[in-house]
Structure 1
Amino acid sequence: MELIDDRIVGHQFAYSLPLPDFSSSGLEYWVGQNGIFARAARPGIEVLMPLGYYQPLKGLVSLDPYLKVEPLVPGELLLHVWVAACQTTDPATDSLLEALFHLVWVRGHWQLVTPSQKQDTTSCQPIDTSADSSTCNAAIEIHSHGAMSAFFSPTDDRDESSGFRLYGVMGKVRSPRPQMLLRVGLFGHCWHVPLDRVFGLKGGCFFEDLGLQDSRYYYNQWEKPQCPSTMT
């Protein structure tokens, strides 16, 4: 999608649908009848994220939040990440180490990259952060928590507070039902999203999708009966 100017942040009111093409190279805030939304795009991914709900605003249209990942990331790549997470151990103790993975959009396809990294049982950090590295160019970043549950820590919140990217965390990777939690990170705004909106999960999801269990997040447009229909 072509960006039509060089502004970093834009502010717009939604008077009619469809919304116009992007006017910001970074982040747009949209005020609709049903709340405030953040919109952004990058190759392969586009999102309209709900930020809050207020009393209906007269004269504006309601907006439906969405996340588009086109095409979906092949489920096989997600399984490769899980297998690698299960095999990433400390040779001396056989303890599971955290592991970091990047999914990069390359000429219309998703490419899995395992960057060189510093690892221990509670953290992982990429070594190469240059402009040409997967650290800078990944559209989706996933890290594992070994035997711990899948959750985003305060450190994750701090490290993932800039730019536009999808973030995933895997937990209990060697259990019969490993966990995964996925969110959109948009310049410090976070939105948990279902796994099947990002990955092509033919035949069902192998993971326990923790994002589907949290009623604080806005899922009524996912059209999945097991998802909450309202925010609390």
Structure 2
Amino acid sequence: MAEIGLALVNARLAGQVRPPAPLGTYVLARHFVLLEAERDEYQAAVPVSIVHPPIEGLPDECPALRWKIPRPPLELMTHRVLPVFLVAARPAQGPRAEALANLIWDGLTWSVDYPEQDATPASVHTREPLPPGGVIQIHSHGRMKPFWSATDNADEQGFLIYVVIGCLHEEEPAILLRVGINGSWLPLRLSDVFTT
């Protein structure tokens, strides 16, 4: 029988170099088992497990997000996404609802995509696949604090940067960010993702 020769997942020890695999590469490092993946816009390594005690003799590699393109400006969030999310969260517009937006990189500039969606006060689901160039998916929790719900964890299984915004009734909404690879995530700071 002929061998196909396509590995969907790779593995390596920290310090070794291997070509990227479509579903990621597992890395055994001194303090972590990481899952790393790469796309045109960024590469990421997310923790899958903490190694305790540390493995002596192995180099350290740490969870990280490394951009290969200019990061999106924070103004996209504050001037384009938040106003739409605020409208969805207002009781005057009917029941408060969550909302969803995607940040798209076209190779030169960033834009915002608002896909068709089914939204309730406690969930939002898009009816459309992530468009080409979709790099960041943002959804709101309305007046609730932002948190990663079981629904979020079940939905956010791709290789993408995810953002949840909550406390939309307050002067300064609260924001959580993470990068995910196949159901493992790395928490991020606002400055890891956006330029100010």
TM-score range, shorter chain: 0.7 to 0.9
Aligned pairs, number: 189
Cα distance, 1:94 vs structure 2: 4.4
State the superposition RMSD in angstroms.
2.1
Give the C-alpha shift of residue 59 in structure 1.
3.0
More off after superposition, 180-189 vs 99-108: 99-108
TM-score normalised by length of structure 2? 0.86
Indicate if the aligned counterparts of 2:102 and 2:138 stay in contact, CA closer than 8 A: yes
Question: % of aligned pairs identical?
Answer: 29
Task: Show the 5 A alignment for 1:1-232.
Answer: 6-14=6-14, 16=15, 20=17, 22-51=19-48, 52-69=50-67, 70-79=69-78, 80-89=80-89, 94-129=94-129, 133-134=130-131, 138-161=134-157, 163-201=158-196
**Uncovered stretches (5+) of structure 2, i.e. residues with no partner:** none
- Cα 1:23–1:94 change in 2 (3 A) is closer
Distance 1:50 1:173 in 2: 30
Give SS of 1:86's match: helix
Distance 1:91 1:36, change over 3 A: closer
Q: Which has the higher contact order (CA 8 A, sep 6+)?
A: 2
**Unaligned 5+ runs, structure 1:** 202-232
Q: Deviations over 1:154-213 (max 9, x none)?
A: 11111112x211111100112012111111111011221111100112xxxxxxxxxxxx
For the Cα contact (< 8 Å) 2:87–2:93, is it kept in 1?
Answer: no
